[in-house]
């Protein structure tokens, strides 16, 4: 690919610095005020304030790490889907992963309470994660079975959307007949949360992240060839079916795990690949996977800071923040870019 | 005797749908040689695309064999085949952020390791392909900044960088203006000569194909593939056979398509050969054919034309005036009838 210019290198360093900045900002804000110096001391293990140690090590650090991995994973799966479908509107959830996960959680919380368990389970971090995983996995299984049979990816996209509609309908039915408190518990899950994660869940997220990233990187050649579409890729010796399967698998592992533990976090997956391209235009997926990972992580950490409403005791749902603050930013960036192009 | 690079024996092509075979063409026999430009011609829907897809290994053959350098096509792995055969398709690729150099470099995918890292040799092949297609001046440009002609050259450079012995192009000049059509066809002809690649061009541009190809492959509906020297096929009337419709025919003497017109009158045109040719084209539209010793005549002079038409003689300043006069004359007759 074309030689990386020094400007691009400078921009990459800038991105890394902003990632570190967002990470530290995410750790420093919260309902309890901890001075920045103390924060660093605590992280280095030289502080003796037990309460602050507890807050930072048991609450803020796992939350910041999960924002880091979640943002990264969602952005990369968004990139994978946009490349696979050659569609700028594709995102991690086009294959119905979030619909499957939502159905799993809806069944657990709403249908489960009808037969005697459920609402209490939502407070347990594992139960909704397990339900979401099973739901997402079943949808994935269907998609993979179908992916082996269809000729073009556009069909797959439509089938993914149909799964979304069908599972959405079941969730609607469940919400219609379920009790208010169960419905509320479900709605809260759909708003997304980064705070419910502690180290054991984090470990699973990191393992899934590494597997997903490795699968994605194993396909960089095919991903690059997909700039030319499926026919050209095939003529370059790439097995489209195998490529499609591995990319679907990588996306499902990345986005599925995050959805299971954090809920369906919208916006990051679709927007970050575009933001990244605006900032550093590159056609080489070896670079764009990394860049999307960094930008996605920074963005979700940034949104996490905003959701803490610095200086207050309230926390906003992360899903609302990502869309509310992210969408105008992206619109502004894209319009800005377009107008500057016209001027040139 | 040169060895063919690709041969097909008793080839049957078509689709398999729900275990039922749909045969498009059967019993095809042909060979392709190094350094040869082949024009693949056939009316819409006769199976050109199916043939190209079968040759490029995207679609399996239903019967018979295709072999490349003596080895059956099915024995090639996808990657090995990609090193033998490259394609230029009609698929649109505008939406991406590639530069021309990146695009051409994608042609090296069959040769790189799993990360797609380009070796110095790969970079050299890319530079060669860019030089051969004369697009050095746009190699840093983004694809969305290119004209259609430039983009098509970049796509050809990409196929060249893939460095196979065979290059197949599907309608490479379909949407280009005439200078670009000629430019691309000339480029392909030169590439075949300089790189000794075998180039198959599927096209509807019959007149250009006749001029540029070393061989034509003519596909007829439900029939054989006819292979031969373009000029010979034209003389034998093979081209008229596949392209003749109820509205037009292939004029063997001039190598162009002509609309059928009913000749009602004849005229003798006196002038130099260019004047005579273009006059005949204008008059044919009115149903007036050329014939020596006809009663009617039209003579070109330096600044005027003299028309003798059904006994009357008139002088005109331009061919346009002659055509206007004759049109009026015919219309009056139609209305008085």
| Selection from A37, A85, A26 nearest residue A59 by Cα | A26
Residue from B80, B90, B91, B96 whose CB has the most chain A CBs within 10 Å, to mutate: B96
State the pLDDT at residue A340.
Answer: 42
B319-337: per-residue pLDDT in tens?
A: 999 999 988 887 877 776 5
Is B88's pLDDT higher than 70? yes
* Pick from A1, A86, A220: CB nearest B105: A1
State the pLDDT at residue A343.
Answer: 31
Interchain CB contact of B279 with A (< 8 Å) = no
State the pLDDT at residue A116.
Answer: 63
Residue from B86, B116, B160 whose CB has the most chain A CBs within 10 Å, to mutate: B116
CA dihedral of residues A129, A78, B112, B187 (deg, nearest 10)? 160
* Pick from B98, B115, B118: CB nearest A227: B98
Contacts of A9 (CB under 8 A, 6+ apart): none
Q: Å from A83 to nearest chain B CA?
A: 10
B234-285: per-residue pLDDT in tens?
A: 888 887 777 766 677 777 777 777 777 788 888 998 888 888 888 888 888 8
Contacts of B298 (CB under 8 A, 6+ apart): B267, B268, B269, B270, B271, B279, B283, B305, B306, B307, B308, B322
State the pLDDT at residue B8.
Answer: 92
Ranges assigned E (strand) in B185-254: 198-202, 215-219, 225-228, 248-251
- Give the chain B residue nearest A227 (alpha carbons): B96
Residues linked to residue B248 through DSSP beta bridges, in sequence order: B259
The DSSP element (H or E) to which A322 belongs, if any, is helix A318-343
For residue A131, what are the CA distances in angstroms to A144, A261, B301, B325? 20, 10, 94, 87
For the purposes of burial, counting CB atoms within 10 Å of the CB of B125, is it exposed (0-12), middle (13-18) or buried (19 or more)? buried
Structural domains of chain B sorted by starting position, each given as residue range(s) with its CATH number in brackets: 6-246 (3.40.50.300), 265-336 (3.30.250)
Is B20's pLDDT higher than 60? yes
State the pLDDT at residue A41.
Answer: 83
- Which of the pair, A56 or B81, is modelled with greater confidence? B81
Give residue for tokens 């004759």: B326
Q: In chain A, which stretches have pLDDT less than 70?
A: 1-7, 115-125, 310-311, 337-344
- Which of the pair, B286 or A221, is modelled with greater confidence? A221
State the pLDDT at residue A339.
Answer: 43
CB contact under 8 A, A284 and B140: no
Report whether A2 contacts B101 (CB < 8 A). Answer: yes
Residues linked to residue B41 through DSSP beta bridges, in sequence order: B218
Contacts of B102 (CB under 8 A, 6+ apart): A1, A2, A283, A284
Residue from B16, B49, B91, B109 whose CB has the most chain A CBs within 10 Å, to mutate: B109
Report whether A189 contacts A262 (CB < 8 A). Answer: no
Give the whole-number percent of chain B exceeding pLDDT 90. Answer: 39
Q: Please give the backbone phi and psi of residue B198, each rounded to the nearest 5 degrees, phi first.
A: -90, 130
Q: Å from A241 to nearest chain B CA?
A: 13
Sort out which chain B residues have CB atoms less than 8 A from A284's CB and list them: 102, 116
Report domain extents, chain A: 6-340
Report whether B171 contacts B122 (CB < 8 A). Answer: no
CB contact under 8 A, B109 and A225: yes
* Token duo for residue B10: 């008793």
Interchain CB contact of A58 with B (< 8 Å) = no
For residue A254, what are the CA distances in angstroms to A79, A293, B172? 12, 12, 41
Report whether A294 contacts A16 (CB < 8 A). Answer: yes
- List the 203-262 stretch of A: residues with Cβ below 8 A of B: 218, 220-221, 224-225, 227-229, 231-232, 234-239
B152-164: per-residue pLDDT in tens?
A: 999 999 999 999 9
Model ipTM value: 0.82
Sort out which chain B residues have CB atoms less than 8 A from A221's CB and list them: 109, 112, 114-116
Interchain CB contact of B110 with A (< 8 Å) = yes
Residues linked to residue B215 through DSSP beta bridges, in sequence order: B38
- Give the chain B residue nearest A83 (alpha carbons): B96
CB contact under 8 A, A237 and B82: yes
Sort out which chain B residues have CB atoms less than 8 A from A225's CB and list them: 106, 109
Distance CA A159, CA A279 (A): 33
Q: Please give the backbone phi and psi of residue A310, each rounded to the nearest 5 degrees, phi first.
A: -45, 135
* Pick from B86, B95, B97: CB nearest A235: B86
A67-102: per-residue pLDDT in tens?
A: 999 999 999 999 999 999 888 888 888 888 888 888
* Token duo for residue B1: 């005797």
Q: Å from B141 to nearest chain A CA?
A: 11
State the pLDDT at residue A123.
Answer: 59
CB contact under 8 A, B116 and A286: yes
CATH class for the region spanning A6-340: mainly alpha
**Three-class secondary structure of residue A48 per DSSP:** coil
* Pick from B78, B91, B101: CB nearest A232: B91
- Dmax (CA) for chain A in angstroms is 66
Sign for the pseudo-dihedral over CA of B233, B235, B236, B239: positive
State the pLDDT at residue B259.
Answer: 75
| Selection from A169, A171, A197, A170 nearest residue A186 by Cα | A171
């Amino acid at each position: 690919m074309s030689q990386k210019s020094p400007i691009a290198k400078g921009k990459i360093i800038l991105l890394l610095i902003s990632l570190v900045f967002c990470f530290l900002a995410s750790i420093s804000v919260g309902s309890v005020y901890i001075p920045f110096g103390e924060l660093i001391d605590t992280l280095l293990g030289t502080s003796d304030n037990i309460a602050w140690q507890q807050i930072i090590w048991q609450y803020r650090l796992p939350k910041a790490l999960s924002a880091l991995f979640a943002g990264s994973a969602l952005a990369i799966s968004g990139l994978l889907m946009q490349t696979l479908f050659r569609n700028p509107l594709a995102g991690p959830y086009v294959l119905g992963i979030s619909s499957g996960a939502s159905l799993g959680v809806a069944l657990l919380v709403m249908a489960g309470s009808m037969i005697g368990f459920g609402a209490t389970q939502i407070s347990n971090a594992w139960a909704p994660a397990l339900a979401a995983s099973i739901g997402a996995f079943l949808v994935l299984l269907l998609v993979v079975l179908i992916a082996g049979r269809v000729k073009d990816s556009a069909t797959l996209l439509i089938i993914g959307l149909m799964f979304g509609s069908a599972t959405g309908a079941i969730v609607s039915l469940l919400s219609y007949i379920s009790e208010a408190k169960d419905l509320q518990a479900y709605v809260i899950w759909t708003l997304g949360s980064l705070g419910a994660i502690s180290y054991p869940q984090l470990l699973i997220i990191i393992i899934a992240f590494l597997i997903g990233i490795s699968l994605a990187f194993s396909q960089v050649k095919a991903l690059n060839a997909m700039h030319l579409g499926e026919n050209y890729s095939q003529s370059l010796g790439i097995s489209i079916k195998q490529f499609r399967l591995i990319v679907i698998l990588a996306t499902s592992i990345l986005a599925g795990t995050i959805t299971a533990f954090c809920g369906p976090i919208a916006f990051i997956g679709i927007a970050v690949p575009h933001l990244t391209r605006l900032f550093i235009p590159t056609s080489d997926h070896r670079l764009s996977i990394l860049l999307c990972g960094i930008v996605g992580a920074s963005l979700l950490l940034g949104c996490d800071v905003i959701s803490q409403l610095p200086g207050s005791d309230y926390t906003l749902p992360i899903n609302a923040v990502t869309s509310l603050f992210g969408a105008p930013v992206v619109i502004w960036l894209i319009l800005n870019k377009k107008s500057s192009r016209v001027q040139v | 005797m040169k060895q063919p690079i690709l041969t097909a024996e008793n080839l049957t092509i078509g689709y398999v749908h729900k275990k039922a075979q749909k045969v498009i063409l059967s019993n095809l026999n042909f060979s392709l040689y190094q350094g040869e430009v082949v024009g693949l011609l056939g009316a819409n829907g006769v199976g050109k695309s199916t043939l190209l897809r079968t040759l490029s290994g995207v679609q399996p053959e239903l019967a018979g064999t295709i072999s490349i350098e003596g080895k059956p096509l099915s024995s090639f792995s996808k990657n090995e085949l990609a090193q033998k055969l490259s394609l230029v398709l009609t698929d649109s690729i505008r939406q991406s952020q590639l530069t021309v150099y990146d695009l051409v470099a994608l042609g090296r995918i069959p040769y790189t390791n799993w990360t797609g890292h380009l070796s110095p040799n790969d970079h050299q092949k890319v530079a060669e392909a860019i030089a051969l297609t004369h697009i050095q001046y746009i190699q840093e440009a983004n694809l969305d900044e290119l004209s259609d002609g430039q983009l098509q050259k970049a796509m050809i450079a990409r196929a060249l960088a893939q460095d196979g012995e065979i290059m197949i192009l599907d309608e490479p000049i379909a949407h280009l203006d005439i200078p670009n059509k000629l430019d691309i066809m000339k480029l392909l002809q030169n590439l075949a000569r300089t790189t000794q690649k075998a180039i198959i061009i599927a096209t509807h541009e019959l007149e250009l194909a006749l001029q540029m190809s070393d061989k034509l492959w003519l596909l007829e509906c439900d029939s054989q593939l006819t292979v031969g020297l373009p000029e010979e096929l034209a003389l034998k009337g093979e081209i008229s056979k596949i392209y003749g419709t109820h509205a037009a025919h292939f004029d063997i003497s001039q190598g162009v398509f002509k609309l059928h017109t009913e000749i009602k009158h004849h005229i003798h045109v006196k002038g130099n050969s260019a004047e005579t040719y273009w006059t005949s084209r204008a008059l044919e539209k009115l149903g007036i054919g050329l014939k020596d010793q006809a009663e009617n005549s039209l003579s070109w002079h330096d600044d005027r034309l003299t028309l003798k038409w059904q006994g009357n003689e008139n002088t005109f300043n331009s061919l346009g005036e002659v055509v206007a006069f004759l049109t009026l004359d015919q219309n009056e007759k139609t209305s008085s009838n």
